Structure 1
Amino acid sequence: MHQLPPIESKSMVARTEFYRRYDASSGIQELMVDLDLALSGPRKMLMLGGGNPGRLPEMEEFFRGEMDHLMSDSDRFERALGVYDHPGGNVPFRKAIARLLEQDCGWDVGPENIALTQGSQNAFFLLMNLLGGRREDGSTANIVFPMSPEYIGYEDVGIQAGTLKSFLPRVTLLDDYSFRY
Structure 2
Amino acid sequence: MTPMTDSSTSLWATRLRQNQGIRSLMEDLGQVTGHPDEILLGGGNPAHIPEVEEIFAECFRILGEDPSLRSLLGDYQAPIGNDRFRSLAAEYLSPHFGSNLTKDQIAFFNGSQNAYSYLLNIHSGYMKDGSFKKILLPIVPEYIGYADQSIEENAFLAKNPEVIKTGNHRFRYALNKTDFDLSEVGSVALSRPTNPTGNVLSNADIDWMEERTKKKSIPLLIDLAYGNPFPNLIGSEDPINYNEGRTLSLSFSKIGLPGVRLGIIISNPETIEILSSYAAVGNLAVGNLGVYMMEILFQKNILPHLSKNILRPFYDKKRELAISIFESEFQKHGIDYEIHDPMGGFFLWIRFPSLSVSNHKLYHLCKDKRLFIVSGHYFFPGLNSDFSHTKDCIRLTYCRKEEELARGAHILAEIVASHQAKSQ
**Both structures adopt the same fold (TM-score exceeding 0.5):** yes
Alignment of 1:146-165 (within 5 A): 146-148=139-141, 151-165=143-157
Question: 1:143 Cα shift?
Answer: 1.3
Q: 2:72 matched to which residue of 1? A: 80
Distance 2:120 2:130 in 1: 17
Distance 2:50 2:42 in 1: 17
Where does structure 1 lack aligned partners over 5 or more consecutive residues?
A: 1-7
State yes or no: 1:31 paired with 2:31. Answer: no
Give deviations 1:118-168, integer Å, cap 9, x for gaps: 1132122111111222111111221112221x5224211111111222322
Q: 2:13 matched to which residue of 1? A: 19
Question: 1:174 Cα shift?
Answer: 5.3
Could you tell me whether the CA contact under 8 Å between 2:125 and 2:155 is conserved in 1? yes
Task: Specify which structure has the bigger relative contact order, considering alpha-carbon pairs within 8 angstroms and separated by 6 or more residues.
Answer: 2
TM-score for both structures, normalised by structure 2: 0.36
With over 3 angstroms needed to count, the CA separation of the structure-2 counterparts of 1:126 and 1:52, relative to structure 1, is farther
State yes or no: 1:71 paired with 2:64. Answer: yes
Could you tell me whether the CA contact under 8 Å between 1:131 and 1:141 is conserved in 2? yes
Q: How many residues align?
A: 171
Q: 1:57 matched to which residue of 2? A: 50
Give deviations 1:3-59, integer Å, cap 9, x for gaps: xxxxx6678992334433333331100111122334x32238787663443333322
With over 3 angstroms needed to count, the CA separation of the structure-2 counterparts of 1:76 and 1:36, relative to structure 1, is same
TM-score for both structures, normalised by structure 1: 0.76
With over 3 angstroms needed to count, the CA separation of the structure-2 counterparts of 1:24 and 1:112, relative to structure 1, is same
Distance 2:164 2:89 in 1: 35
Distance 1:62 1:94 in 2: 23
| Percent of aligned positions that are identical | 32
Alignment of 1:84-163 (within 5 A): 84-145=76-137, 146-148=139-141, 151-163=143-155
Amino acid at match of 1:22: L
With over 3 angstroms needed to count, the CA separation of the structure-2 counterparts of 1:171 and 1:10, relative to structure 1, is closer
Distance 1:46 1:103 in 2: 41
Query: Where is the strand percentage greater, Structure 1 or Structure 2?
Result: 2
